Amino acid sequence: MLEYGDSTMTSQQTIGRYEVLEELGHGAMGTVYRAKDPAMDRIVALKTIRSEILSGQQGGEFRERFYREARAAGALAHPGIVPVFDVGEHDGMPFLVMEFIKGRTLADAARSGERLPLERVCEIAQQIAEALGYAHSKGVVHRDIKAANILLTSRESYGIERPKITDFGVAKLASVQITTTGQMLGTPAFMPPEQFSGGPIDGRTDLFALGVILYWLATGEYPFPGENLMTISYKVMHTEPVPPRKLNPAVPEALNRVILKCLAKSPADRYQTGEELAREIATLRAAGMGAATRPAVAVAAAARASSTDPQATLDPSSASAMSRPQFDEEPPIVPPVMATAVGTKKENLVLMLVLLALVIALGGLYVLQKREPASGAASTAAVPTANAPAPAA
């Protein structure tokens, strides 16, 4: 039996004409399977959409929008975007069929503790920005850009490891339902102020999320960390992130400015298109990254794991999502941090404590030496004070 959402599939293990081979994962939106398309004799990724997302009084309208969004996503043809092959329904359950990409997500790469030089980080960001610029020019906004939605192609299978954005046409579908019911869907750690406030959404929303990914890969931290939705939303809307260079001095000043511009509170202050951001990163890379070619240092998961997963999408089925958010059951992501000349925070603290202890020890030794009687002198001889007259020559 194959499960998806809160329902159970029949034992025939097919969805439409597609033969289900295995479950790849599931979350707030639905379940992803590896399946076979017998008509085309190829392996595909099939994503089911939880039926309750398209249910209710406006279920018909939601289904119409679902197909419209799926068709728009299916029209996208870019090397940085996973193509949509088909869309349909099975026993009232909507589904999307996409290219099956051999590889892993950017989140998986980070979880494994892989070391990424800043040059590679910038290359990935530039390619994602180019793909987003193309999608936005076609009128398609993703709305849930995060490391878990960025696939990295297998170098063994494709000859190159390049990022591909997946799940186009899915997030907007859910956001329509969320807007109508007064809830919200998205990944809080990657959402800009306008997504929390209900403001207009456009391509600059995706560029903010890409800025979060850049910040995360360059520093190993999230720009707006928090253990719950209320904390994260307050920071996103009212506080400025710590400049990346303060967390990792290896980050060049030019890259520091690029990241902070992506994370601007107002969409008008961000890059206006993906192409503009991609050109800026390309210029930065052409100028040379300097220390950015140094490898990253993996961080122990046990020391950095949080109680909630920053990559997890809010569950739209929760009526109290604003006060009690539900997250996908995905293990916490532990991103890599880049090497710096001064090391990690923990290493710096230990070094400072060692130096302080050494200073105290040397000071104590100095005082003891001063108090010891000189050879041939009385043990009660006083140490001259700063105000005492100098002895006669």
Distance CA 226, CA 308 (A): 9
Q: Which of 144, 167, 206, 309 is catalytic?
A: 144
DSSP for 289-333, please give it.
-GGGGSPEE---HHHH--SS-TTPPPPTT-TTTTTS----S-PPP
Distance CA 136, CA 151 (A): 19
Catalytic site residue 6? no
Grouping H, G, I as helix, E, B as strand and the rest as coil, residue 387 is coil
Could you give the residue numbers annotated as active site?
A: 144
